[in-house]
Each structure stands twice: as structure tokens, then as C-alpha cells.
Amino acid sequence: KHMMNIGLPEEITEIVDIGAYVSLLEYDNIKGMLFSGEITLKRVNYINRLLSVGKEEVLRVLRVDTQKGFIDLSKKQVKTDEIDECKQRFGKSKAVEGIIKLLAVHTKKSMESLYKSIIWPLYKTNEHAYDALKSLYQKNDHILDGLKIADDVKEELMKILIIMLLEYMEFM
């Protein structure tokens, strides 16, 4: 249900007669199907002219059949303004993932435990964890209030934010 009706970044992995197989990049590369009738409002004669393997597209999830493992996608139902929003959200998510990976290495804690203790709680009070981390970088220390984070982890997080957000903020 979480995936329904939102634009998601997908990577075209294979083009077939009936459409294209894609990897859902935000969902651990699970596979989905973009049928030829959902690529464009126009008639499709040659799918290869509209899609190419390796290209990232913003698509909408139409249906999820959890029992059979099918995910049906649409390109024609994605609105133009959703494309930039989706790309920006995905970029922010990748930045957060990079920060957490580095924090996990430096603190010898699992990424999952860091997501549970820092990132997921930040989503409860912010539109995106990236925005909260950016605010923390800008010395709004109250962002982490109420979170159970060891002082050494907070200190390491701040070091990483200084390095990484300078890099990412150029693109956001």
C-alpha cells in the first residue's frame, strides 16, 4: 500500500514484446512490469524507441499482487511535476543512506539499528530525514531531542554531516 499512487524511480532492466521489466530502486530493486499500454498515451509500435535498458524512469505503481509477486507500473499516469519531486526525494534518500552507511562503519553499529534509532524517528517529525539532518548540520541540535542516541554516535554523526552534506547540498 505504501508504494501505491506515488512516482518511484525505476531502472529499466529488460525490454520485451509486451513491455519492460524494471527494478524499483527505492525498494531494494524488486522487479516490476511496465506493460506497453502503460508507456504512453500514443500507440506504441516499437518499445525500444521509448525505453532503453539501464535508463531510470519515474513510474507509478498501479497494482501489487503480493501473493504472486507482481507489481504493475505505469509511465503514462505520471504527471510532469511528479518527476522532479520524485528525483529530488530519491536523491535525498540516497544522501541519507550514504550518511548512515558511513556512520555504521565509524561507530561499528548496524545500519538497521541506526535507521531505527535515528532515521525512522526523524520521519515522524519531518517531511524527510534529509531535511532534519540538514537542519542538524545547521546547528539545530534540538532535532535529535527525544532520540536515544549515544553521545559518541551523535559526535560522529555531526562529523559526517559536515563532510557529506556540504557535498550533497550542492545538488539539492
pLDDT tens-digit map of 62-89: 888 888 878 899 888 888 888 788 888 8
Residue numbers in the chain where pLDDT is lower than 70 = 1-8, 140-141, 165-172
Nearest CA to 100 among 145, 126, 127, 133? 133
Output the pLDDT for position 6: 57
The angle at the Cα of 77, spanning 46 to 26, to the nearest 5 degrees, equals 95
Interatomic CA distance for residues 46 and 62, integer angstroms = 23
Interatomic CA distance for residues 49 and 40, integer angstroms = 12
Interatomic CA distance for residues 36 and 123, integer angstroms = 36
Prediction pTM value: 0.65
Q: What are phi and psi of 113, to 5 degrees?
A: -65, -35
Share of residues in the chain with pLDDT > 90 (%): 16
Output the pLDDT for position 2: 45
Interatomic CA distance for residues 45 and 159, integer angstroms = 53
Extract the runs of DSSP E, i.e. beta strands, from the chain: 7-16, 19-24, 30-35, 56-65, 70-74
Nearest CA to 70 among 19, 33, 120, 108? 33
CB atoms within 10 A of CB 22: 27
Output the pLDDT for position 170: 54
Interatomic CA distance for residues 136 and 144, integer angstroms = 8
Per the structure block, which three cell numbers stand in for 77? 499516469
Output the pLDDT for position 168: 58
Nearest CA to 50 among 60, 36, 62? 36
Interatomic CA distance for residues 58 and 62, integer angstroms = 13
Q: What is the pLDDT of residues 37-58, one digit of tens each?
A: 888 888 777 787 888 898 888 8
